[in-house]
């Protein structure tokens, strides 16, 4: 098979796995904090073993990078907790759509990190995302679980956008597996002391699910991304990544029996459309800015 086509199929499988992480918020009978602890520990161990197997050094280039990696890990810890909490409050379909406001949030934050200016199309995208969020929210009351889930999901998206921008600026010279191994190590170190009695007494089935989440649905996709980018353009990766809410919602409908209402479908369509648009226009901007 052509390597480009094979990489494209692999990328879709990778994005499907990442979308499937949301399902574990419903099938593992633990809190979002406990799920995050288990996920990070198993992901860290798997990625560390992978790095050793590849013969890559685990050391970073300079002392500053250790501090950067630690900061990114702390942000990732809070992002993962709020990610699973959003799904537990609002369900997978609504939670994953709320999370996918991050591409537009990223565009709004970029001027603070890079020498670019906000253009009117970005403002329109933000308005479209806001309308999509308003369609999903049933009432302006945080006592409503769905409203709370959307609020937590958007906060998680903000953290994810912030982590991605900081990573790109200060940590992108490391491989995906190496960067994630450090960040999952920090997540584990930060949260392991908050392990609950429920987690300490969990069943073998829950332990197995945490292992699958941390390895197959977390470590493996992040390791696969680097391989896919060897044959695909970054723009192609970004566009396919926009399929994550679609895969997540389909898996939730098929495997969990969720039944999103029409507002969720329309709001989700608006949010994903804005994400796709921003991905395309960002790629064009970068192409025009090259010398």
Whether the CB-CB separation of 146 and 9 falls below 8 Å is answered with no
Cα(81)–Cα(118) distance, integer angstroms = 30
pLDDT of residue 233: 63
Cα(39)–Cα(17) distance, integer angstroms = 14
Whether the CB-CB separation of 30 and 257 falls below 8 Å is answered with no
Of 230, 197, 237, 175, nearest to 47 (Cα)? 175
pLDDT digits (tens, 9 = 90+) for 190-224: 999 999 999 999 999 999 999 999 999 999 887 77
Cα(215)–Cα(191) distance, integer angstroms = 18
Overall average pLDDT of the 88-113 stretch: 86
pLDDT of residue 79: 95
Q: Indicate if the pLDDT at residue 64 is higher than 60.
A: yes
Q: Indicate if the pLDDT at residue 140 is higher than 60.
A: yes
Q: Indicate if the pLDDT at residue 167 is higher than 90.
A: no
Over its C-alpha atoms, the chain yields an Rg (Å, rounded) of 19
Non-local (6+) Cβ contacts of 131 within 8 A are: 267, 270
Non-local (6+) Cβ contacts of 194 within 8 A are: 33, 37
Handedness of CA 27, 29, 33, 39 (dihedral sign): negative
Overall average pLDDT of the 162-175 stretch: 86
Q: Indicate if the pLDDT at residue 226 is higher than 80.
A: no
Overall average pLDDT of the 68-94 stretch: 94
Non-local (6+) Cβ contacts of 86 within 8 A are: 95, 98, 99, 149, 150, 152, 153, 156
In angstroms, how far apart are the furthest CA atoms of the chain?
A: 59
232 versus 234: which is more confidently predicted? 232
pLDDT of residue 290: 47
């Amino acid at each position: 098979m052509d390597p480009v086509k094979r990489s494209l199929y692999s990328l879709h499988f990778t994005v499907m796995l990442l979308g499937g992480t949301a399902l574990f918020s419903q099938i593992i009978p633990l809190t979002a904090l406990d799920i995050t602890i288990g996920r990070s520990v198993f992901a860290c161990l798997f990625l560390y073993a992978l790095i050793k197997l590849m013969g890559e050094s685990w050391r970073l280039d300079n002392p500053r990078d250790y501090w950067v990696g630690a900061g990114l890990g702390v942000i990732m810890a809070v992002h993962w907790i709020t990610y699973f909490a959003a799904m537990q409050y609002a369900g997978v379909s609504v939670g994953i759509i709320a999370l996918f406001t991050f591409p537009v949030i990223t565009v709004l934050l970029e001027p603070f990190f890079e020498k670019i200016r906000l253009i009117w199309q970005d403002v329109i995208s933000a308005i479209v995302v806001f309308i999509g969020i308003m369609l999903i929210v049933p009432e302006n009351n945080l006592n409503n679980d769905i409203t709370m889930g959307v609020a937590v999901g958007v906060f998680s998206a903000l953290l994810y956008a912030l982590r991605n921008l900081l990573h790109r600026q200060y940590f992108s010279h490391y491989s995906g597996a190496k960067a994630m191994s450090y960040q999952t190590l920090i997540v584990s170190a930060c949260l392991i002391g908050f392990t609950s009695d429920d987690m300490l007494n969990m069943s073998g089935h829950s332990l197995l699910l945490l292992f699958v989440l941390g390895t197959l649905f977390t470590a493996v996709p992040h390791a696969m991304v680097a391989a896919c980018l060897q044959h695909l353009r970054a723009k192609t990766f970004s566009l396919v990544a926009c399929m994550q809410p679609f895969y997540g919602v389909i898996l939730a409908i098929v495997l969990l029996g969720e039944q999103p209402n029409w507002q969720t479908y329309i709001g989700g369509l608006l949010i994903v459309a804005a994400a796709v648009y921003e991905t395309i226009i960002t790629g064009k901007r970068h192409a025009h800015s090259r010398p």
